[in-house]
Structure 1
Amino acid sequence: MQRTLVDAIRNTQRFVEWTGTNRIGSLTASIILLTVILPISSYSVGVPLSRSIHFSSPVLYQGSPTQTSPYITTFPISQNSSDFVPFVLYPASNKTVWVVTIKQGNIINNVIQPPRAQIVKYTIGVGPKPVVSLVNAIPSDIVYDQTLNRVWFLENDSLAYYNQNAPPGNLTVELTFPKGSPQFMTIDPTGRIWLTLLGTNQIAEYDPSTREPPNLYNAPAPNASLQGITTAPDGTIWFAETAAKRLGHLTPCRSTSCTITDYGPPSGVEITFPIQLAIDRNGTVWFTDHGSNQFGSFNPSTLEWKVFPIGYCSASFADCAVGLPNAISLDSSGLIWFSEHYAGRVARYDPSDGTLIEYTVPAVTPPYIWWASPGPGNLVWFVAFGLGEIGYVNASLPVPISISATNSIELEQGGSKNVPASVQKPAGDSVYLSVSANGNDAPLGLSPLLYGSPEQGQIGPSDTAVSTAFRLSAAWNLGLGQRYAALTAYNSNVAINVFVHVNVSQGKTSYFSTGLATTILIGSVALYWRHTPKDRKTGRLRKNRVSATLVQSR
């Protein structure tokens, strides 16, 4: 019996992603549910796919756009839970975005109908226009090729495209990978398409200009659960080996003997489920960790890894604090954007000043911001499939709230320290303060071992510049090494964060406690032997007459 995507998400999202001791296994299962892999057994090149297409695509719900916050505008795609809902997208211009919409299979006569999907052209002022409909397919990725004017997407085991110059309903399956289960793709500067193949644990390279058979490269890690893939400025390819907790790197050579390797974090840096990645102008690899509340970076030149927690999440719906960062991209200014799946936010990180801004998508139920992508016009598009909407963040608008703080502290195990900070905001608005720390040190479901709280939780409307402090604390059993904590200032629209680098060292107090306990133990033993009664005649210790209790002070 088939489980459709939306049904799987709604009924198993928390269980699949956060239960069990094997977090990777559960999360890998989640990705499989999210992509609904339905293999195609035949190998074909350039063959029109007819059995999966319905040329009479239903018209999607066309509602009016809504400016839900000063920064966010949304566009309804569906009106009811049984309608097609947006899943992934790709901006083509400042007014047009290509969207994959999906629909769960309804139950008719006790039979679950197959899942359905659409390729939709959404234009501001015009609305959604479905151009292709699919049955038994949930495309996991979509990319618009500006050069060939094609809309590429992945469906089942195939790479397919829609030709904008052809009538609606036209679809060509360019290439099929038997049992390959392609997950994500990227187009390099030469026009070649690179794909991650989950089913065969391979990277595929395909050149649509020559249409020659693809080059296939085995991933360095076995059973890597390959996910995101992207092109670096130097033309090399990076990809996520999700189950292996590693990042892969391939240097193209137009043959099957290209150099391919991978990198994993050192001891003390923990990543759980790296899923998507992007490369900045300096060659630094940025990635999202979908198995935790963090995103991070890897510098191939220095081999330095950093992981940062997302900011404090204040929304009232369940799982807000879970976060689950997912899609990640760079905009034209070099800023890093990523979606926060469960937190319902679109985040922007500025590597130049270390500031993280998170834009909240207003909702009373989880919006599920699965996908986000910067586009032309300084608009960052996203899907909110929990709301049946797409939308964009207007990145041109300034955020009039700022926070600064001491950027580095030393913190002993079991110790606490105040971090001075200052917050600036416009008059008339209230701002709230909190702390977010990486919870990977703690066992699943327990509180973080690095934690904190603000000196004051709220800054009132009359204040515009406030000096305050945040108190950071380390549990006794927090591991040694370097971490980051986020100091958050937020309102109903945005959360602004700065990161404090925390170097955790072994507490001096722990040495004192251990020494004191040892001294008491030795002293107690000495006193016991000194005062144990002896037999007056023999001078020997009396047996079975005396018992002693040694108390060890912790």
Structure 2
Amino acid sequence: MALAKIREVPLTGADAGPYGITVGPDGALWLTLVHAGAVARVGADGDLRTWPVAADSRPLIVTPGPDGALWFTRSGDDRIGRITTDGEQSAVALPPGSGPCGIAAGPDGALWYAAMTADAIGRVTTDGEVTQFPLPVSGGFASMVAAGPDEAVWFTLNRANAVGRMGTDGAVALHQLPTEGAAPVGITAGADGALWFVEIGAGQLGRITPDGRIDEYPLPDRAARPHAIVADPAGGCWFTEWGGNRIGHVAPDGTIVTHDLPTPAAEPHGITVAPDGTVWAALETGALAHLTP
């Protein structure tokens, strides 16, 4: 892969903190502003609109829901937020101490989330019914979730050094990672029928098949601290290197190419692939990075 063309789009001040990002059902970019406690929309024309959520809500990850709205985790006040494409908000309260982080639409028409501080994976229906399924670990720090190709939900356990699978009935299987201290975070379902994830502690990418086979791919910079990952339609994945200040790509065969961001210490976090094949990453320092492969 040739080096991508990258431009940075100023968005907010660093005090707002762009963090999670996704493409909404309206074709616009939707993102969380973790420090400002807000959600933002960036239209195709670059128009920026923001909606305050709550001062201490700490919104983290945002995802399209099965109901045509955007759903996002509120890690600071134990809620799942919902916002329509015209900005109407509502929220679902979770059990106290949940600390939700990752969220994704599941195979059953509900939203599934990782309860970081409750050792649980949760499910919330579009009409607000909440169920939390306990995990067989203590202090595992469930971080991100993704719907797998096998009608199940997959998730990372950052401090338990494992990737897990949960059926829609709550049945759990955990897979320990080969590398000690790998500290997995982001996870996504690849177009190749496997799940891809990042190991922030080891500077590696991982791939796990539905039957539990794990392969790991070291990054050129083992201190890069990869954070988020998203699949592309061609079978590869794009990922952010929070510590390396880069956006990277891994091909289906494990070949890795990385691209330096123009601004030093931009703190790339969330990443998404737009319908036109270009890549957008949220930079916590207040901008978006737009990559044209």
* TM-based fold match above 0.5: yes
Count of residues paired in the alignment:
253
Change (3 A) 1:309 1:174: same
Alignment of 1:114-125 (within 5 A): 124=4
- Give ranges in structure 2 of 5+ residues lacking alignment: 256-293
Task: Report Cα offsets for 1:195-222 as digits up to 9, x if no partner.
Answer: 111222111122124x43x222110x31
Change (3 A) 1:393 1:281: closer
Matched with 1:222 is: 96
Matched with 1:543 is: none
Verify the 8 A CA contact 1:241 1:274 in the aligned structure 2: yes
Q: Aligned to 1:322, which of 175, 178, 181?
A: 181
Alignment of 1:455-474 (within 5 A): none
Look up the SS of the partner of 2:103 in the other structure. strand
Change (3 A) 1:289 1:224: same
Verify the 8 A CA contact 1:324 1:341 in the aligned structure 2: yes
Q: Aligned to 2:163, which of 275, 295, 319?
A: 295
Matched with 2:82 is: 205
Q: Tell me which protein shows more helix as a share of its residues.
A: 1
Tell me which amino acid in the other structure corresponds to 1:134: G
Look up the SS of the partner of 2:160 in the other structure. coil
Matched, 1:154 2:32: yes
Verify the 8 A CA contact 2:140 2:160 in the aligned structure 1: yes
Matched with 2:208 is: 349
- Give ranges in structure 1 of 5+ residues lacking alignment: 1-72, 76-123, 313-320, 400-554
Q: Aligned to 1:252, which of 101, 126, 129?
A: 126
Q: Aligned to 1:390, which of 236, 239, 247?
A: 247
Separation in 2 of the partners of 1:289 and 1:151? Answer: 28
TM-fit CA distance, 1:133: 4.4
Matched with 1:423 is: none
Matched with 2:219 is: 361
Verify the 8 A CA contact 2:197 2:207 in the aligned structure 1: yes
Change (3 A) 1:74 1:133: farther
TM-fit CA distance, 1:157: 0.7
Matched, 1:305 2:178: no
Tell me which amino acid in the other structure corresponds to 2:213: T
Separation in 1 of the partners of 2:248 and 2:236? Answer: 9
Matched with 1:173 is: 50
Verify the 8 A CA contact 1:369 1:384 in the aligned structure 2: yes
Q: Tell me which protein shows more strand as a share of its residues.
A: 2
Structure 1 residue ranges (4+ consecutive) displaced by more than 6 angstroms after TM superposition: none
Verify the 8 A CA contact 1:230 1:277 in the aligned structure 2: yes
Look up the SS of the partner of 1:322 in the other structure. coil
Tell me which amino acid in the other structure corresponds to 1:357: D
Task: Report Cα offsets for 1:464-488 as digits up to 9, x if no partner.
Answer: xxxxxxxxxxxxxxxxxxxxxxxxx
Look up the SS of the partner of 2:145 in the other structure. strand
Separation in 2 of the partners of 1:74 and 1:339? Answer: 22
Separation in 1 of the partners of 2:129 and 2:21? Answer: 27
Verify the 8 A CA contact 2:67 2:126 in the aligned structure 1: no
Change (3 A) 1:133 1:182: closer
Task: Report Cα offsets for 1:358-412 as digits up to 9, x if no partner.
Answer: 111112x5111112111222221111232222110011x389xxxxxxxxxxxxx
TM-fit CA distance, 1:331: 1.9
Separation in 1 of the partners of 2:233 and 2:38? Answer: 29
Matched, 1:135 2:14: yes
Separation in 2 of the partners of 1:392 and 1:373? Answer: 10
Look up the SS of the partner of 1:184 in the other structure. strand
Tell me which amino acid in the other structure corresponds to 1:263: F
Change (3 A) 1:74 1:336: farther
Matched with 1:378 is: 235
Higher RCO structure, 1 or 2 (CA under 8 Å, sep 6+): 2
TM-fit CA distance, 1:149: 2.8
Tell me which amino acid in the other structure corresponds to 2:85: P
Matched with 2:134 is: 264
Matched with 1:236 is: 110
Verify the 8 A CA contact 1:265 1:271 in the aligned structure 2: no
TM-fit CA distance, 1:237: 0.8
Look up the SS of the partner of 1:376 in the other structure. coil
Separation in 1 of the partners of 2:171 and 2:243? Answer: 37
Alignment of 1:90-101 (within 5 A): none
Separation in 2 of the partners of 1:385 and 1:290? Answer: 16
Q: Say what the alpha-carbon RMSD is for the aligned residues.
A: 2.2
Separation in 2 of the partners of 1:230 and 1:378? Answer: 20
TM-fit CA distance, 1:271: 6.0
Separation in 1 of the partners of 2:2 and 2:183? Answer: 22
Separation in 1 of the partners of 2:139 and 2:175? Answer: 11
Separation in 1 of the partners of 2:58 and 2:135? Answer: 27
Separation in 2 of the partners of 1:130 and 1:144? Answer: 16
Matched, 1:163 2:21: no
Tell me which amino acid in the other structure corresponds to 1:260: V
Separation in 1 of the partners of 2:56 and 2:244? Answer: 33
Verify the 8 A CA contact 1:290 1:324 in the aligned structure 2: yes
Tell me which amino acid in the other structure corresponds to 2:166: F
TM-fit CA distance, 1:244: 0.8
